[in-house]
Amino acid sequence: MAQTNPFELLTAEHDILRRRLGRVLRASEDVLESNEGRRATEAFLSALRLHIRREERALFPLCARLFGGRESAISVLEDDHEAIGGAAASLARASATAKLDRDRVRELVRLLETHFTREEKVLFPVAETRMTAAEATFLARRLRTESSP
């Protein structure tokens, strides 16, 4: 049976992204660059792009309405997405041409952990208390309209 709690869906995605980024970090620490490291990086970046798109198309608009518009706490999370997107693009460029840059990967780890913590510890619990059951079902359905990472 499909999950109907949208925040459980998103937290599960965060866990997938953490594991995939962990593989990229381990690959960046290897002395020799490998095709496995490139594949891990590509898989992670693809899943990250999908996750960000799902949040921006489904979660953020609903939360902006719940919290009083785009100038609310959602703007901080949108700024996070912009910074994460920039770090991910930098990692993608570097991994396509050279050995994985450990510092770039670590910066992305830092950005994502900060962002995930904001969502999991603040946004999700507060949104869940403000959201009706119908809104939660709608959000879960919207999140599932795109493939999972």
Spatial distance between the Cα atoms of 143 and 57, rounded to a whole number of angstroms: 8
Tens of pLDDT along the chain (149 residues) come to: 355 799 999 999 999 999 999 999 888 877 555 777 888 899 999 999 999 999 999 999 999 888 876 667 788 999 999 999 999 999 888 877 766 778 889 999 999 999 999 999 999 999 999 999 999 999 999 998 876 55
d(C-alpha 104, C-alpha 83), whole Å: 12
User: Where exactly are the structural domains of the chain?
Assistant: 6-144
User: Cα–Cα–Cα angle for 101, 105, 109, nearest 5°?
Assistant: 170
Comparing CA positions, the residue from 103, 13, 123, 104 lying closest to residue 62 is 123
pTM here is: 0.88
Q: What is the CATH architecture of 6-144?
A: Up-down Bundle (1.20)
Rounded Cα distance, 133 and 36, in Å: 43
Distance between CA atoms of 61 and 21, rounded to whole angstroms?
A: 27
DSSP code of residue 26: H
